[in-house]
A and B are shown apart, each in its own frame.
Chain A
């Protein structure tokens, strides 16, 4: 007996809810620092704050041991220009990384300066960052003195597209590579982070969803003095009082996508990525940036057959790609030969497509693992894929099913599965505005990882979490607790428990699907003022008519329902921000039919949006509003002590 249906058939009745139900009961916790979101950024923030001797609470929807997008693992520690094998200066590399429209120069500078320190601390906590067992002796990029393994990624430039010099004689020789990305054994990281949190006395509240931020006197725009939460197993109401709060939740991954049967599988991330932090901050009055930016989903579990999606795909993994007859394809492979490029130029893509139609290349394509040397094949299969997040289970199941890379070609689904529909989108670079303290526009509220605008990868989340913890600790050391408004708490309780007071109506999945469809129609490929307004109208109708009909039969479903209400708000913000940008922009993935000129100079600026007296207010920030990255970093971190030296 394993499934619910088996149980029902055997027992004649469904199992009872296995946890005590405590709807409305309150638990109050007072700490110096509250961290909402226990993924990579949140764990690092909690650890860093606790090392300053402060009392810290960490709130996580799942269980901190494996939660978050980086919970299962991580194979690349990107942007470690301060590592001993790097050939670039961290400040120069940060400028290079930020040399594109609408990045987060603050986060990038922090990552480039502190990522290596962060990695060394990870090692001290028990994370594996070196080939200490000599499994990969002789692998390209392995340094025998440090046993660090440099990745082919960002070999010459940081772009995903090939370096224009690729293919020229002497391209990317080992002695000239940037050496800024390190391969790591990331499946060891998350349990080590949880252990360290516990060791430092961080109070961990697993299975608790953050629902709202508490502000001084309950006023929108006031200082943030804590948060409310819901235990998603018991339904208990949590009140956290804090001197400083750090948000480190992830964005609304499945806003445009909802397959009602594969709902955990409609984005690259798990269903827990529902943008709670964005909306908690928004309602408290914090300023958001880049909310109109969206991108097409290239990888979505169940919808696309990529590594993360379960199938295992031979693209991008340093393995040469061949057609069905063994003919080499001119596709970049994120390997040494192309300096880590992952995506073909549009011209190459078109040429291969044409070749397929003319019979020059025959489908399907394959990753030619047998052609690789033994050590490179193992480094790709066991390290790059074995440690890369949700891919560990994929290689394990392939191995168990009899796949042998020394003998077998691994199928690629490139072209076979077609392109993603332009309506299959996800929020792009939208997130909270931050300053050089990673403080939001609200006092008492700090931000790390993917809750920030234009966030990046796993190691970026780690480095910014570590930094935000330090800065929040400095603030909390100098301020008292605020006064929580009982009225704010009562209003929040009334809001979150409404769906459990009903036992029929609309369930969360239908709400989610309704929101996703509105986004597909009105905020996708074809963008006009009229469509945006129709989208807002559709969402407001859902809010007015369907939200009051939502019902939830248990605390888990209540959490999902609240997440979807957050997503509805998120969708509305995206449409409002879209209406405000009266120009098209390629980097923002924002092409308007009514303003076709692409990236006109007068619109080369960030758009911001926030609530003031419950009215949305649009603002702007110039490109590079953070100033000189090196100077500002140094000015704000003169007391930075490098790798933690304490116990």
Chain B
């Protein structure tokens, strides 16, 4: 990559992706943009594309955007690393994590 192609970008606020969109399934209906009480998203300038995550640092992880999406699989929750819960298989003792 040439020096010209490399943008100078400030550090990314973290966590930065409360959700992951599947552009194959999401039809850009923007229902998630509307249900979010925070306005974490804005509509994508290109119609039919998934919304853009603009204010990830303000997300309160209520899940409404995912719960209310009319297209199953279009949007998936993505817990920040520090908030992923654990469990343990009672018989084998094997540890699982979200």
Contact = CB atoms under 8 A, between A and B. Distances in A.
Interface of A: 1-5, 7-9, 15-16, 18, 61-63, 65-68, 71-72, 187, 207, 232-233, 260-265, 269-272, 301-302, 305, 309-313, 364, 366, 368, 370, 389-390, 392-394, 396-398, 401-403, 407-411, 556
Interface in B5-47: 7, 9, 12-17, 19-21, 23, 34-39, 42-45
A559 B92 CA distance: 52
B87 A408 contact: yes
A65 B36 CA distance: 9
A4 B57 CA distance: 12
Contacts of A310: 61, 79-80, 83, 85
A66 B85 contact: no
Contacts of B58: 263-264, 271
A402 B90 CA distance: 14
B60 A407 contact: no
Contacts of B67: 72, 187, 392-393, 396
B39 A3 contact: no
Given A261-B14, A309-B83, A271 B38 contact: yes
B85 A305 contact: yes
Nearest to A413: B85
A411 B38 contact: no
Interface string B33-77: 011111100111100011011111111111110111000000001
B39 A556 contact: yes
A410 B87 contact: yes
Given A2-B50, A302-B80, A397-B98, A409 B45 contact: no
A110 B52 CA distance: 44
Tell me whether chain B's interface is mostly helix, strand or loop, or mixed: loop
Interface residues of B, number: 56
Contacts of A410: 85, 87
B58 to A, nearest CB: 4
Given A62-B37, A67-B37, A312-B98, 8 more contacts: A18-B42, A72-B64, A187-B67, A261-B57, A269-B60, A270-B60, A389-B62, A408-B90
Contacts of A62: 36-39
A12 B55 CA distance: 19
B87 A403 contact: yes
Contacts of A66: 35-37, 62, 64, 68
30 contacts: A1-B49, A2-B50, A2-B53, A5-B16, A9-B7, A18-B45, A68-B37, A262-B15, A262-B57, A264-B38, A265-B61, A271-B38, A271-B58, A305-B85, A309-B83, A310-B83, A366-B87, A370-B90, A390-B61, A392-B67, A393-B62, A393-B66, A393-B67, A393-B77, A396-B63, A401-B96, A403-B96, A408-B88, A408-B96, A411-B86
A397 B79 contact: yes
A409 B87 contact: yes
Nearest to B19: A2
B34 A270 contact: no
A4 B53 contact: yes
A398 B90 contact: no
B87 A63 contact: no
B2 interface: no
A271 B84 CA distance: 21
Nearest to A18: B42
A565 B17 CA distance: 28
A401 B54 CA distance: 27
B45 A15 contact: yes
A270 B49 contact: no
Pairs A-B, 10 closest by C-beta atoms: A393-B63, A62-B37, A310-B83, A270-B60, A312-B85, A264-B58, A411-B86, A67-B37, A311-B85, A66-B64
